[in-house]
A and B are shown apart, each in its own frame.
Chain A
């Protein structure tokens, strides 16, 4: 940070979308990424729930960062994160019971999503409120986007629908495997390849040999 100019709030927001994308680059939060992406709706709901928790915990942690002694910092973070997750859990159940059922235990499991504690420890605990908000929002949207890319592929191929709307004529035989657990692994693996290839090309273009 010595030679280049300090990152702006916009930079903190942008980095989560692509350069430090939590799923494809940092390989964090794999459990929900694979588990709830069998339909696009579930993927978006999970992404938004995680984004909410991420933003709130980043905000809260950044706001209290000066008052928290180092020894109890992780405990305090987890306490805050668990609180926001509980709130989200009840909110989803109040908004839509079927959605709450579809996401199941994975809403509560946001607590142990490494992305959230990771951002708290690596960013929000050391930075002012505004950049922390941008960081949380960027990471959250990057996470939602990654989930959506998986959810769309799996739903279109596995059920022949997108957001519940049928895309193909009735003769289309859906690839059932895509909505099964195995399909989650395969889809993520394929996307990883695509992103690796894209990033490699980008690097090759920016550093002429």
Chain B
């Protein structure tokens, strides 16, 4: 059983198995904050950042739980870690860079309940990645999330101007667009082999 090479993990997590379009993780922010390209890219940056920190933290937690022999506490520990990570990141950014805080501020609390973050922690554990691979995986997933969000926002900015029946406007239209994006991303399959 040879471990996956790093470039393969990066490519797979960002494109082939895109978190939003193939794994359906982080659909809520995907539908919620994807109406402007500007906000979408900032949200993507915030999520990527939190993902990197979470990958690091959950990797440590996993080591700890494995040594203690308490795998059943994993879920609770992950939730606690993610919630406190988001808090810490928020406080840290507020202290060090008020400008960045202004840009990301409102998104940070939303990230706690973003299933993409918990999903990342769980997948990383299931796949048994070491620290280096976990970081690469988090980076790829974050980039993929950002890419999906920005693409979606681009389409939706145009849709605003389109003349659609009232019935279709809103969630139904966004979901159909997401479906088309997902079909487009299927073209990336096979890249990693």
CB within 8 Å of B: which residues of A?
27, 30-32, 34-35, 78-79, 82-83, 85-86, 89-90, 104-105, 108-109, 111-114, 117, 177, 180-186, 188-189, 192-193, 196-197, 200
Contacts and interface: CB of A to CB of B under 8 A. Distances in A.
Contact of B79 (A31, A111, A189, A197): A111
Contacts of B172: 189, 192-193, 196
Contacts, number: 99
A66 to B, nearest CB: 24
Given A31-B27, A112-B113, A192 B118 contact: no
Interface in B114-146: 114-115, 118-119, 122-123, 126
A193 B171 CA distance: 9
Interface of B: 21-28, 31, 72, 75-76, 79, 83, 113-115, 118-119, 122-123, 126, 167-168, 171-173, 175-176, 178-180, 182-183, 186
Given A35-B23, A86-B72, A188 B167 contact: no
A54 to B, nearest CB: 16
Interface core residue of B31, B114, B176 (most chain A CB under 10 Å): B176
Given A90-B72, A112-B113, 12 more contacts: A30-B24, A30-B31, A31-B24, A31-B26, A31-B28, A34-B24, A78-B83, A85-B75, A111-B75, A111-B79, A180-B182, A192-B171
B79 A82 contact: yes
A105 B123 contact: yes
A182 B175 CA distance: 10
9 contacts: A34-B27, A35-B23, A35-B24, A82-B79, A108-B75, A111-B79, A182-B179, A183-B179, A189-B173
Contact of B76 (A79, A105, A182, A200): A79
A-B residue pairs, 5 tightest by C-beta? A185-B179, A189-B175, A182-B182, A30-B27, A35-B24
A182 B119 contact: no
B72 A184 contact: no
